Amino acid sequence: MTPIFETVFYKGIFVTTTGFSKDAGHEAERADFAIALIDSDWLVDLLVSYYESLDPEIEALVPLRKIYWPV
């Protein structure tokens, strides 16, 4: 997973549950400011990674609980 907020300060964020076209990626790259294009996979990675540091109101919107799978 890319550490989104540790390396770049984004001024724009677009989120989709499907994906972005090549044109969308091209336009984001040529913008005068950094734009993050977040697809559903990256959104889930972000939620899981930062879940414990979210405000309780946000956690209530996306209730997750840890489960452990024996290996």
At 21 the pLDDT is: 93
**pLDDT of the chain, 71 residues: tens digit per residue:** 555 555 667 788 899 988 999 999 999 999 888 888 999 999 999 988 999 999 999 899 989 888 888 98
At 6 the pLDDT is: 56
The torsion angles phi and psi of 51, rounded to 5 degrees, stand at -60, -45
The DSSP-derived string for 3-64 is -HHHH---SEEEE-SS---HHHHHHHHHSSS-EEEE-HHHHHHHHHHHGGGS-HHHHHHS--
Q: Is the pTM of this model over 0.85?
A: no
Domain map (residue ranges) of the chain: 4-61
At 7 the pLDDT is: 60
